[in-house]
Amino acid sequence: MTLIAAGAVALERGICRPGWVATDGDRIGACGAGPPPRPADVDMPGALVVPGSVDMHAHGGGGGSYTGGDVADISRAAEFHRRHGTTTTLASLVTAPPDNLLTAVAALAESTRVGTVAGIHLEGPWLSASYCGAHDREQLRNPEPAEIDALLAAGDGAIRMVTLAPELPGSHAAIARFVEAGVVVAVGHTDAGYEQTCQAIALGATVGTHLFNAMRPLHHREPGPALALLQDPRVTVELIADGVHVHPAMLRAVIEAAGIGRVALVTDATAAAGLGDGEFRLGTMQIEVVDQVARVRGTSTIAGSTATMDQLFRAAAGLGSNSDAALAAAVQMTSTTPARAVGLDHVGILRAGFAANLVVLDQDLQVARVMADGQWWV
């Protein structure tokens, strides 16, 4: 058993100063506030220890992509994000031709089995052409039972979430099929109205994919999907808190309206994350990154992000001037809430019996060390 002591530890009760965590193999054996019960094996008096981040929406990073079905690419992306504190990742796929999508799902299912990623998020192909964003418009289609069943079979239990537009023909049956299969249904890339979104939630949708982005906007006479998602306590809303996708004032307003237990910060990162400006690909789409903002080449359409979860943690903590309450809220929105939203047990919290996934942050909230499944990776 390894005993880690730190100047501060993010436990369920909040930020404890000081605190300690004891790991036993790949699990947390015990944790607590105050001085450790015996001399620490690792003592970091100036550090903050938090649970490893859980990113429920990422397409790649560090030059690696989850979208192409290449095992080396998948590992490269996961390792990049692990260095930035993400110990649990859902690999998000974009809209693609049926055969390509099946190939990518099969590859990611294997990566899920060996623990490289925690599961698959299908973002498409059942999206609105009016709000397709960086998805290939030519490959959008309505949800059909045969394709859904083929993808579920290829995933062999690894598909954890699917984003769809509930106004599409066949969407109601699709929602029911996914819910029956234990897959979380998210509403996104949608032109649905308020009532249509409420109906999707009643059918079992429980997540709003990158709230406000790629969906019909709020209007005082037609509230649209965003209000329906925000006001229902059963729904967790994703926010990309990179300062590009959502204005900080809107981020604060959503947190105040929904509460930190219903807000999951996500990166929506692409292979371009960590590589600076240049030209990249997202599925079949050509992407150009300028000043760290990714757009579909030749357009103003935002195409995912170049963010990492440690960046989003700092943004959330900064809303409260890095107070202990703000730090605890940042932990909730980057770890606990997303884990619960997609049904990932034993991650997202520093608790005895949970996975030994933790991140050591220095006084500037920069990642100093990362432990995943009881092993130091950074």
- CATH number, domain of 370, equals 2.30.40.10
| Average pLDDT score over residue span 235-254 | 96
The rounded distance, in Å, linking the Cα atoms of 4 and 255 is 32
Please return the burial class of 75, using the count of CB atoms within 10 Å of its CB with bins 0-12, 13-18 and 19+: middle
Same domain, 193 and 90: yes
Supply the angle between the helices 309-318 and 248-258 in degrees, to the nearest 10: 80
**In this predicted model, what pLDDT tens digit does every residue of 96-115 receive, in sequence order?**
999 999 999 999 999 999 99
Average pLDDT over residues 159-174: 98
In a domain, 212, yes or no: yes
123 assigned ligand-binding residue: yes
Q: What value does the mean pLDDT of the chain take?
A: 97
Residue 160 and residue 171 in contact, taking contact as beta carbons nearer than 8 Å:
no
Shared domain check, 261 and 373: no
Same domain? 85 vs 67: yes
Which residues partner with 305 through β-bridges?
A: 269
Q: DSSP letters along 101-130, please?
A: HHHHHHHHHHHHHTTSSSEEEEE-SS--GG
- How would residue 259 be classed by pLDDT, with cut points 50, 70 and 90? very high
Structural domain boundaries, residue 69: 53-271+309-315
Q: Find out whether 57 and 238 touch, Cβ atoms under 8 Å.
A: yes
Residue 47 lies in a domain: yes
Annotated binding residue 322? no
State whether 105 and 26 are in the same domain: no
Question: Is the pLDDT reported for residue 12 higher than 90?
Answer: yes
Share of the chain above pLDDT 90, in %: 97
Q: Are residues 84 and 119 in the same domain?
A: yes
Q: What is the pLDDT of residue 171?
A: 98
Tell me if 371 sits within 8 A of 358, measured CB to CB.
yes
Is 245 within any annotated ligand binding site? yes
Task: Determine the pLDDT at residue 68.
Answer: 86
Annotated binding residue at 120? no
Catalytic residue (choose from 73, 191, 242, 268): 268
Assess whether 214 and 166 both reside in one domain.
Answer: yes
**Would you state the pLDDT for residue 1?**
84
Q: Is residue 285 part of a domain?
A: no
Q: Is there a binding annotation on residue 100?
A: no
- Indicate the DSSP class of residue 134: T
**Is 104 in the same domain as 14?**
no
**Amino acid sitting at position 369:** R
With respect to residue 154, please indicate whether it lies within any of the assigned structural domains.
yes
Is 142 a residue whose pLDDT tops 90? Answer: yes
* Span 285-303, average pLDDT: 92
Query: Does residue 365 fall inside a structural domain?
Result: yes
Plot region of 237 (φ>0 → left; ψ -120 to 50 → alpha; else → beta) = beta
- Report the percent of the chain where pLDDT is more than 70: 100
**268: annotated active-site residue:** yes
Q: Is 260 a domain residue?
A: yes
The reported pLDDT for the residue numbered 361 is 98
Mean pLDDT value of segment 222-243: 97
- What's the structural domain count of the chain? 2
CATH number at residue 228: 3.20.20.140
Are residues 38 and 59 located together in one domain of the fold? no
Q: Quick one: 150 and 92 in the same domain?
A: yes
Instruction: Mark whether 40 and 61 lie in a shared domain.
Output: no
**Quick one: pLDDT band at residue 320, thresholds 50, 70, 90?**
very high
At 378 the pLDDT is: 80
135 assigned ligand-binding residue: no
Q: How far apart are CA 316 and CA 139, in angstroms?
A: 36
Is the pLDDT assigned to residue 348 strictly greater than 90? yes
Residue 247 annotated in ligand binding:
no
* Secondary structure letter of residue 221 according to DSSP: S
- Is 304 assigned a ligand-binding role in the annotation? yes
Residue 232, domain member (yes or no): yes
74 plus 212 within the same structural domain: yes
Whether the pLDDT of residue 69 is over 90: the answer is no
pLDDT tens, 118-130?
A: 999 999 999 999 9
Packing angle, helices 324-331 and 309-318, rounded to 10: 140
Hey, what's the torsion of the CAs at 247, 252, 257, 261, to 10 degrees?
Answer: 110
Residue 371, pLDDT score: 98
304 in a structural domain: no
Q: Which of 67-76, 183-192, 254-263 has the lowest mean pLDDT?
A: 67-76
Q: Are residues 98 and 118 in the same domain?
A: yes
302 marked among binding-site residues: yes
| Arithmetic mean of pLDDT, 75-100 | 97
